[in-house]
Every structure is written in structure tokens, then in C-alpha cells.
Amino acid sequence: MDAATLAQQPFMSVPELIRIHGGERPEATALCQDDTVVTYGELDHAMDRVAAALQRDGLAPGDVISICAATSTAYAAVFLGALRAGVVPAPLAPSATPASLADMMTDAGARHLFVDADNAAALAPVSERLPAHLVTLDGSDAGLPLADWLTPAGTRPEPVTIDPDGPFNIIYSSGTTGTPKGIVQPHRLRWGHVRRGLSEEYGIGPDSVALVATPLYSNTTLVTFFQTIALGGTLVLMAKFDTRRYLELAAHHRATHTILVPVQYQRLMDDPAFDQYDLSSFQCKLCTSAPFRAELKAEVLRRWPGRLIDNYGMTEGGGVCSLLAHRHPDKLHTVGRPAEGHDIRLIDDDGNEVGPGEAGEVVGHSAGMMLGYHNQPDKTAETEWYAPDGRRFIRTGDIGRFDDDGFLVIIDRKKDMIISGGFNIYPADIEAVLREHDAVSDCSVVGVPSTRWGETPVAFVVPVPGADIDAEALRTWTNEQLGKTQRLADVRFHDELPRSAIGKVLKRDLREAYTPSGTP
């Protein structure tokens, strides 16, 4: 099916599109990782075996599986095969704590868990809380090896009709305390991503080679992953990002597309060997997930061939703004204009739209929005805003304003979320852990600038009077209980925290006063 015909379709599912590629171009490369190459014909058959195995085990459309593993071609095949059966994958971040992972699987109601050896070992402390069906993607003996779990080669699953408004996957937010929110994305949202990939600026198609260097549990990755695989391109997968290896793969495979978070762009620009690699094959580079500094965008444009698109949006869906940086070098301080079909508005604290040029909370509406937070209707309601005409918008928690040309400038985050290395970190989670320590009387966690991570969390602590504890010991104790992406970079002791007249901690004051060395 050519791009023009596909663009006219009201809806097509990702599994359906892969079936078409498997039939029309069975020898074309779909997935590539190190020495492993999977053609579209092989991927289509592998998806059938996964779907049939899930049906054999009694899973029906709408049931959930979890995947907690490093990026691999097997991971991709299981994710895609589950979709063919109408089953809902819930990919989980291995960096989360075992207790948090168990909470997420319980919340999702996962019937099966797909892991690799390393993550099976990490989950051992909560083994009694894991789904009964444990399947290992790497063939290790921590569970039933994938090859033994699959149905025989050539098996075809019972056909399933995909509801565009049915759940596609559940993406869990960051967290260590309580159960993180599970964002339920519908098939229609992913179809919107696929259609965006057909645009002239994205230019994704059968000749595309997308280098993916962020993990498959991240929605950042999954947007480009599904665009490329649904439109017949080749995905080159990296299990772990490394600047030199990335450059080698990009040059070797003649990569045309990639998606990276700002920290990865920074590390690539800082690599002294960057300019030695032939990257002339690149057509389009994408960025999302974290603030992308104007200076860094300019450097990428200057040194790296191809278009550069900075997307601003949420995993929850709603509205997306896109900055076509190559077309608007004078707007690099913005996140661009609303994407086609996306309605972005700004509202005040009372839920009223603000006037031209005024700042307000960013809310967005589009055809692709989350169904809601899994099992959390109250949280879902909190993130929704309804326009006077009744249309549903998703609140971002960010404060922004539109300039005279209609480009959105993000001023500040209404929420206190920290974005480190492209991952969302919620200070309240870390603060809750700190407060469990007997020596902590009060605390606040903020994100401070980091050359390596973009932002990194730092804790400001009021010790219990007379407590025998030093800052480094408290940092070590806290980090032992946090996920890898949440760990504190520093702990500073204060006699008291700065607060407003109504008792709110003034986190901006803490952030602005902080220096990496010396006393804030």
C-alpha cells in the first residue's frame, strides 16, 4: 500500500500494516540488532506465534501482559504479537524498584511477564507477587524460555478485530511510593503517530532506516518505533546508548531517522569523534521528553545533516507542538506551533482561557488522547479540562505563552516534575523515601541543571535536632531505595526550608541558590 493510499485510510492497526509488509515485502529487513536481522516475513510469522500462544493460554482482547527487559528483537516481537491478539502490553522500566514493578503489574492485572535474566534476578525479592506465567526472552532458565513457550512455527492465531478506541498499551509513569499512574493509550492514538510519520517533514517509508537508542518501555521510543515498523522501514535497535557505538551504527547502516532525548544530543555533540563519521544519510532527527536548549539545537543543525524536529507533548496525548528547527532557526527557544489537527490552548487557575500574549497552563486536544489512568478515575478527571463546546483537553501542568507568530514558549513547569536523561522523576516519591529516615525532620527535592543528564535531583534536608547523620550517608541510604533514574546527586542540610506565606516550600529559591560545590 503506497503512502498516498494509506494517508486516506480512516484507521489501520499496526499489526494489520505489518501483515501487509510481510506479504508484499517478506525479505525486507524489519529489525536489526547487532548480528540479528529479522525480515518482515519473519516478524509477521513470529507475531502470529506470540498471538496464538497468548490465545492458547486463555488471554482475550483487553487482557494485559507486562514486559520488563532490555531492548531486543524478541522484546519487539512479543510486544507486536500481543497487539495482534488484542492483548495490551504494559512495558515496564527495569530501573524502577522491584516493589514498584510488582505494584505496576498488580495494577495492570498482567497475566504474563516477559523478562530477561538480569531483570528476573532483580525481581527475585518480589517473586511471590509476579504473574504465574514467567517467560524469558533470552532463553534463560529464570522462567519458561520463549522458544519453548511459543506455538509451533506456522501457527496462525484466531483473527481479532481491533477497536480503534480500545487499549493499545499501558505506559506507567515514574514512581517509587504507591502505584505509579498507568496511562492507557488507544489504538487510535498510535494510528495518529503513524499518519504523522507519512508527512513530508517526517518522510518515513519503506526506505527509511531508524536508529533507536532509547529503551522500548519509553513512549519516546515507541512513537518512532511504531511509525517506522508500520510504514515498512528498518529499525536498528540499541540495547544501551553509547555515543561511539551510536555513531558507528549510524554510519554503517546509513541511518535516515532517529529519535533522541536532549541529553543524548549533548553527549553526541561533546564526543570528539562526532565530526569524523559520515552522517550524510540522515533525513530527519527527532527530539522529545525534555527541554531542548536553543544553543544545543543550533549546534545540532550546524553539525548534523538533515531536518530537526523538536516535539512537545505528553504520553497522555492531547496536543502536540512541533518545532521544525531547520525551517525556523530564529525560534529555537520555542517548542513550535501546534501540529496539524492539534488544538493547544492556555488556561488560568480558574480554568478560563487567557488572553493573547498572556501566560497560562498548556492544555491540548487531538484525535489521539489517553483513555485515562488505569484504575484511577479521580486522577484522570484531575488532568482533564473541557472547553465551552464540550471537547476534552489534557492538562500538561506546564506554563507557557504564545508569541506573536503562534509559537509556544514554555515558561515554567507548574508541576515539580524533574526530567533527567529524558525520564520523568517525581520529587514527592523521593521525598517520601527521605522522610522514612529517623534523622530527617523535613525535606524538599528539586531538579538542578546537569551537563550529563539535563537535570538531576538534589535534596534539601532539615535534620532532626541532634541527629548523628552526615549528608553523604543519607544520600547513600536514600539511593539504595530508589530506581536508578531517581537517585540523588547531592544532599544539602538546612536549618529550615524557605516557604511562602501559606507554607508552600519555595522550590525555585532552592534551585536558584544551589551551587554544585560550597554552601547554597
The CATH number for 313-411, chosen from 3.40.50.980, 2.10.25.10, 2.40.50.140, 2.30.38.10, is 2.30.38.10
How far is residue 428's CA from residue 432's CA, in Å, rounded to a whole number? 6
pLDDT surpassing 50 at residue 282: yes
* Domains in the chain: boundaries: 3-240, 313-411, 418-513
Calculate mean pLDDT across residues 97-104: 93
Calculate mean pLDDT across residues 146-174: 95
pLDDT tens digits, one per residue of 323-368: 999 999 999 999 999 999 999 999 998 999 999 999 999 999 999 9
Q: CA 492: distance to chain centroid?
A: 31
Reported as type and span, the H/E element at residue 493 is: strand 490-493
Q: Which residue has the higher pLDDT, 97 or 244?
A: 244
Decide: 70 and 238 in contact? Cβ < 8 Å. Answer: no
pLDDT surpassing 50 at residue 308: yes
The CATH homologous superfamily of the domain defined by 418-513: ANL, C-terminal domain (3.30.300.30)
Q: CA 270: distance to chain centroid?
A: 24
Among candidates 416, 354, 412, which has minimal Cα distance to 385? 354
The yes-or-no answer to whether 3-240 and 418-513 have a common fold is no
Calculate mean pLDDT across residues 315-325: 95
Reported as type and span, the H/E element at residue 171 is: strand 167-172
Q: What is the pLDDT of residue 504?
A: 66
Among candidates 204, 168, 198, 169, which has minimal Cα distance to 340? 198
Q: What is the pLDDT of residue 240?
A: 93
Rg over CA atoms, the chain: 23
pLDDT surpassing 50 at residue 502: no
What is the band of 520 on the pLDDT scale with cuts at 50, 70, 90? very low
Q: What is the pLDDT of residue 5?
A: 86
Where are the extended beta strands (E) located within 248-359? 257-260, 284-287, 307-312, 321-324, 337-338, 343-347
CB neighbours of 337 closer than 8 A, spacing ≥ 6?
321, 322, 323, 406, 407, 408
Decide: 355 and 426 in contact? Cβ < 8 Å. Answer: no
Type of residue found at 165: D
Decide: 318 and 416 in contact? Cβ < 8 Å. Answer: no
What does 340-373 look like in DSSP terms, one character per residue?
TT-EEEEE-TTSPBPPTT--EEEEEE-S-B--EE
What is the band of 459 on the pLDDT scale with cuts at 50, 70, 90? very high
Q: What is the pLDDT of residue 444?
A: 92
Least confident of 240-249, 319-328, 404-413: 404-413
Calculate mean pLDDT across residues 514-518: 72
Q: What is the pLDDT of residue 503?
A: 55
Which CATH number is 3-240 given?
3.40.50.12780
For the chain, give the mean pLDDT: 93
Calculate mean pLDDT across residues 363-388: 96
What is the band of 500 on the pLDDT scale with cuts at 50, 70, 90? low
Strand 257-260 relative to strand 284-287: parallel, antiparallel, unpaired?
parallel
3-class DSSP assignment, residue 122: helix
How far is residue 483's CA from residue 497's CA, in Å, rounded to a whole number? 26
How far is residue 70's CA from residue 83's CA, in Å, rounded to a whole number? 19
Reported as type and span, the H/E element at residue 114 is: strand 110-115
What is the band of 426 on the pLDDT scale with cuts at 50, 70, 90? confident
Calculate mean pLDDT across residues 198-215: 96
Decide: 339 and 322 in contact? Cβ < 8 Å. Answer: yes
Decide: 434 and 492 in contact? Cβ < 8 Å. Answer: no
User: How many C-beta neighbours within 10 Å does residue 39 have?
Assistant: 18
Q: What is the pLDDT of residue 40?
A: 98
pLDDT surpassing 50 at residue 175: no
**Three-state secondary structure along 398-465?**
EEEEECCCCCEEEEEECCCCEEECCEEECHHHHHHHHCCCCCEEEEEEEEEEECCCEEEEEEEEEECC
pLDDT surpassing 80 at residue 155: yes
pLDDT surpassing 70 at residue 178: no
Q: What is the pLDDT of residue 253?
A: 98
Type of residue found at 237: L
Where are the extended beta strands (E) located within 201-287? 209-212, 234-237, 257-260, 284-287
Least confident of 82-91, 283-292, 357-366: 283-292
Q: Which residues of 86-115 are buried (b: 16+ CB within 10 A; e: fewer)?
A: bbbbbbbbbbbbbebbbbbbebbbbbbbbb
Give the sheet arrangement for strand 490-493, strand by strand. 440-450, 454-463, 490-493
The whole-model pTM stands at: 0.84
Alpha-carbon distances, residue 163 vs 21, 61, 81, 86, 373 (angstroms):
21, 10, 16, 9, 19
Under DSSP, the state recorded for 179 is P
Least confident of 40-44, 490-494, 502-506: 502-506
pLDDT tens digits, one per residue of 8-64: 899 999 999 999 999 999 999 999 999 999 999 999 999 999 999 999 999 999 999
Decide: 376 and 172 in contact? Cβ < 8 Å. Answer: no
